[in-house]
Amino acid sequence: MLACAMPTPGPAGNMQQTRRAFAPTAGPRRDFSRRFFSRHSTTRHATAGFLSGALIAAIGSSAAFAQTVAQAVAPPLDSLVAAAGARNPAIRAANARTDAAAARIGPAGARPDPMLMAGVQNFPVSEPGFSDFMTMKMIGVSQTIPFPGKLSRRTEAAVQEVEASRASADVVRRAVERDVRSAYYDLAFTSRALDVVTRTQGILAGMIPVTEARYSAGGGTQADVLRLRVETARLASEGAALVEERRAVLARLNALLDRPAETPVDDASIPQRIARAAVADSGRQITFASAALGARVMGSPLPPLDSLTALALRTNPSLREHEAMIAAQAARAESARREYLPDFDISLQYGQRNGLSDMVTAIVSVPIPLQKRRKQNAETAASKAELGALEAGHVNAVNELRADIARLHGALERDRTQLALYVKAVLPQARAALASASAGYQTGRGDFTSLIDTQATLFNHETEYYRTLTDFAKTLAELEQQVGTEVVK
């Protein structure tokens, strides 16, 4: 019987040694197949030895494979996020809107331009000219002076609109950063999943000539050969789907960076800080809170939910945007209330008459609010209603933020629990099942179908492990977007 030490997840430094000990290489396997094919007298034990050796190698390489995320360093991600901040069109548009809002502060607090007047009064029609003593040439200037306090309220509203626009730009920036990280993590998943598919398909493809030779020698069944071919074709189909998914994800990432869809990105991987927060390197380091179903993993790196919620309520840019919009609308409501107070039109005119004394005219005009009910009252009511709507919307946004933080926190803990179960139980047991099926097949106590089924089960678990890890990373990116800072270090 073949015997081997089953590798378990351990420190990152042991990964390369584990891979060297167990990772299969394509060349020796092909050479062995040719040697085997040339000798139809191969015994059942030699065939089984090859199959079990290949599958045990798969066990070892999958154990090392599960550790690659924990030791990966992803500096390209930071550069991609920085590039998106500088190049993303949505961010540029949001910044331009902020600049536009800032440019409106000055006009909001400025008085209306003065009016220059020039004319002739009492000009005779029958005998045109300026000799008539009633004819007067006039020049003057007029200025509208808003009632004190109106301009300051308009300026305050414009200033708060700038703050709201800045917060809105921050919302856009954080959303783009989250989308970049999410696309990058999806790219990492497709890379790791393709690794699993390629490795598993290589192992199964290497079994085909061996199984065919055994069938030709009368030691196997045609069903074994067909089953291998079906599994290999199925993996090819999954690999093709992953390749297309990778192209789509790459196009989405490049769109966020405002560059051609097929611009390549270096091999993506989950950053170390996220991998360490998601799951321990070794099952021995994992402890559950209790033996009850659904118990969480101990030693969570995530801050408590109430601390995260309090931090989000202080720093979330969407809430800051709402607060600035409320302040701006409050200033507009006060400005609308002051519309009951009249503006003043002041004019000063100088008149010149031939042969007579020059004259100066001063006029002060005040509007009469005859349309108070239809105009000022309606505008004041509209401003108050809009203010009430914004305040209610802010309360709703706070409640939704609390719910989102709780949802994201719970999702992260759920993913941590699932990953811990994979590392502590599911993957080791799947590898042990594969080793047992291989040993049973070698000694004649097991069948080929069980061997292939356990290999397929291990493949599915490895893929789901990486899918769950990717979900954890994407959920963490969303949580950090809401909070505005890194949640785990």
Q: 81: domain range?
A: 12-107+163-320+415-483
Residues 96 and 125 in one domain: no
Distance, CA of 379 to CA of 3 (rounded, Å): 86
pLDDT in tens, the chain (489 residues): 333 333 333 333 333 333 333 333 333 333 433 333 333 334 444 445 555 555 545 555 544 444 444 444 445 899 999 999 999 999 999 999 999 999 999 999 899 889 999 988 888 877 777 777 778 889 999 999 998 888 998 999 999 999 999 999 999 999 999 999 999 999 999 999 999 999 998 888 888 887 888 788 877 788 888 888 899 999 999 999 999 999 999 999 999 999 999 999 988 999 999 999 999 887 788 888 787 777 888 888 999 999 999 999 999 999 999 999 999 999 989 888 888 888 899 999 998 888 788 889 999 999 887 777 777 888 889 999 999 999 999 999 999 999 999 999 999 999 999 999 999 999 999 999 999 988 887 776 778 888 889 999 999 999 999 999 999 999 999 999 999 888 887
Residues 119 and 94 in one domain: no
Q: How far is CA 154 from CA 101, 105, 354, in A?
A: 13, 9, 47
Residues 295 and 231 in one domain: yes
Residues 80 and 120 in one domain: no
Residue 356 lies in a domain: yes
Distance, CA of 47 to CA of 39 (rounded, Å): 11
Distance, CA of 428 to CA of 458 (rounded, Å): 10
Residues 232 and 285 in one domain: yes
- Residue 455, classed as helix, strand or coil, is helix
Contact 236, 257 (CB under 8 A): no
| Strand ranges in 132-209 using DSSP code E only, listed in sequence order | 136-145
Residues 310 and 438 in one domain: yes
Q: Which residues partner with 13 through β-bridges?
A: none
Residues 428 and 307 in one domain: yes
Contacts 24+ apart (CB under 8 A), 51-55: 51/207, 51/210, 51/438, 51/441, 51/442, 51/451, 52/2, 52/438, 52/439, 52/441, 52/442, 53/2, 54/24, 54/29, 54/203, 54/206, 54/207, 55/203, 55/434, 55/435, 55/437, 55/438, 55/451, 55/455
Residues 354 and 242 in one domain: no
pTM: 0.78
Q: What is the DSSP letter of 345?
A: E
Distance, CA of 380 to CA of 40 (rounded, Å): 97
Q: Which residues partner with 120 through β-bridges?
A: 137
Residue 61 lies in a domain: yes
Number of domains the chain is built from: 2
Distance, CA of 133 to CA of 123 (rounded, Å): 10
Contact 463, 196 (CB under 8 A): yes
Residues 132 and 186 in one domain: no
Q: Which residues partner with 116 through β-bridges?
A: 141
